[in-house]
Amino acid sequence: MSKKRNQKLITPEIFRQAVIGSFVKLNPRYMMKNPVMFVVEVGFVITLVLSFFPALFGDVGGGSLRTYNIIVAAILFVTVLFANFAESVAEGRGKAQAASLKKTQKDTQARLLEDNGGERTVLSSELKKGDVVLVRAGEIIPGDGEVIEGIASVDESAITGESAPVVRESGGDFCSVTGGTTVVSDWLKIRITSDPGNSFLDRMIALVEGASRKKTPNEIALNTLLVSLTIIFMIVIVTLYPIGIYSGVQLQTSTLIALAVCLIPTTIGGLLSAIGIAGMDRVTRFNVIAMSGKAVEACGDVDTMILDKTGTITYGNRLAADFFPVGGARREELIGCAALTCLQDDTPEGKSTLQLAREMGDHSEAVEGASFIEFTAQTRMSGVDLPDGTRIRKGAADAIEQYVKALGGQIPGDLHEQVDKISSLGGTPLTVCLNDRILGVIYLKDTVKPGMVERFQRLRAIGIKTIMCTGDNPLTAATIAKEAGVDGFIAECKPEDKIDVIKMEQSQGKIVAMTGDGTNDAPALAQANVGLAMNSGTTAAKEAANMVDLDSDPTKILEVVEIGKQLLITRGSLTTFSIANDIAKYFAIIPAMFMMAIPQLGVLNIMHLATPYSAILSALIFNAIIIPCLIPLAMKGVKYRPMSSGKMLGRNMLIYGVGGVITPFIGIKIIDLIIHPLLALMGL
């Protein structure tokens, strides 16, 4: 587990910075961004003025009124500070992460390889996109790049927090390296892919420390609702003054302000920004970098998840297990031709096929002048062209069949039998041909990762549909899909097929998430609402996605979606709690305001609060202290449990709705018992 996930909620340094930030944020220009708390700040200023000039608004009451106004002003000031403190704590955690990342940014020496074959030592800050550098064991990789030659173990703990080194090599999906990591063994030749100041580490630091984040659509909508409620309650408060005069009650301005602060949704207003920042922080501590808060929020709304089979649902290391000749071909001939196609094939399939061929006694060597044909998603085959005109290919069965037919060859009668046999076992058949003659099939084995069935069941329980994409034939795809428990699959999938299925789901109003690591995944990652790219993948994939997984674990999309849902649930739960709180405060303040003139209202004083002053101040104090009490919940999030939306709503309404009504009754009564004797000493 990453050490980033085990940090304390508030360290002494974060606490110190949060306290300072609480006062800095008192600037009205900043407070106006949070209209609910800005109303509280304005109320504080008015009450503070009334503390020295009580007759300014026609209030009467002498020294006791002055004392009362001072107490109300102090509580309102503390309320604003607590709200600012909650946001500052959330920001402080991100800034602490940024500080630790900055320590990895060192202007290191780099071996720049020149076009003439020479080597020149330069500072890493001087490297430009396209430069090629050589990094040996014990040296720090000077910048983001892709390995073009070599294989080495790389310590990425400075970025990911994981102590175990990872292998980086040219070709395949593990060619990407990040500046600031260290080569542990061997050497790498790296092509730099970013200019100075624009590296992945630079962007990470800007994201995790940036307090000036953009609000998400849901956050904006909720903020609009809170502002609307605030305006409604302000209108109600204004109309209470003439109602009081008509009833023969002289309502103090500070009392009306106290009532307004207690009735408007100050609890969620004070925590809303902190919840959003903390949501991004939780994703970051899970070693996923979200490019925006909108990406995290979108995770919580995901309806459909597009998953690659290889590396996500299965281990992805499809290794050659056996060779099956067809059409009367000799086994030795099949093994020899398969080996020739793999001599320059850097993929795991190619390497394992060559290794198995060697174990079976094949000693094929590279032929001078031979031309290696790389695999592409369009041709779905690779191979080699020998100088004498011989063409050997390996690839998907239907692709090889079409290739052979185009050359005028015949399809062996037992080919489909062998292909279906391998597919029914959940393996991947790779067909080999020599010119226009099919020699046989390579059996590649793959295994579904343990625990995937339970994960997909969990996603199904919360209404998320899973679709597996694979280049395998339909029979293999169906076998793996059934074993893993996904809801659907796309066999023989090409990059454009992923885009098509994403667009189709989105046309039905669904939010789509997918993972990817290759350049061919970039268009689909950009099209998806949530695109999670692997840090080990290509630069194109990382730039197209709106999230990057530092651990390069494709299955992490499942947990990221749950973190997104936790963010939405936390925001909804605390909003419910805040509004339910207000209901309980009505029973504390309204009777207290009119009880003296209208004794019949005493029946509403169900908490039996001692005096009007103690009732109002108790409600105001509770309104202030509930904000810091909820900071841990806002930071950690409400615990997420997979269940249907209906059950989730019922559970949260019971806990945070009913609980939000009961808690103030208990809290206000306890505070009243404590402060009533003190207020009596002050003559209130």
Which tokens is 311 given?
């590396």
Rounded Cα distance, 17 and 69, in Å:
31
CA distances from 678 to 615, 617, 684 (A): 13, 12, 9
Q: Spell out the residues 6+ positions from residue 465 whose beta carbon is closer than 8 angstroms to its own.
A: 303, 304, 305, 487, 488
375 belongs to an annotated ligand binding site: yes
646: how many CB neighbours lie within 10 A of its CB? 8
Residue 160 is which amino acid? Answer: T
On whether 515 is known to bind a ligand per the annotation, the reply is no
Provide the 8-state DSSP code for 133. Answer: E
- 308 catalytic residue (yes or no): yes
> SS in 3 state form for 151-212?
EEEEECHHHHCCCCCEEEECCCCCCEECCCCEECCCEEEEEECCCCCCCHHHHHHHHHHCCC
Catalytic residue among 308, 446, 553, 582: 308
CA-closest candidate to residue 372, choices 387, 382, 381: 382
The residue type at 494: K
517 is in an annotated binding site: yes
Establish how many alpha carbons lie within 13 A of residue 224's alpha carbon, considering only the half-sphere containing its beta carbon.
Answer: 7
DSSP 281-300: HHHHHTTEEES-HHHHHHHH
508 annotated as belonging to a binding site for a ligand: no
Q: Is residue 194 part of an annotated ligand binding site?
A: no
Backbone angles phi, psi at 95, to 5 degrees: -65, -30
380 is in an annotated binding site: yes
Distance of CA 54 to the CA centre of its chain: 52
Name the residue among 583, 567, 569 with its Cα closest to residue 658: 583
Q: Give the span between the Cα atoms of 205 and 210, in whole angstroms.
A: 8
> Quick check: 532 and 545 in contact, CB under 8 A?
yes
Q: Which helix (H) or strand (E) holds 391?
A: strand 391-395
Residue 381 labelled as part of a binding site:
yes
Structure tokens at 355: 């290794």
Q: According to the annotation, is 47 in a ligand binding site? A: no
204 annotated to bind ligand = no
Enter the tokens of residue 325.
């000749």
Output the known binding site for ATP: 345, 349, 375-382, 394
Q: Which residues are designated catalytic?
A: 308
Binding site per annotation, positions: 345, 349, 375-382, 394, 517, 521
Q: Which residues are annotated binding-site positions for Mg(2+)?
A: 517, 521
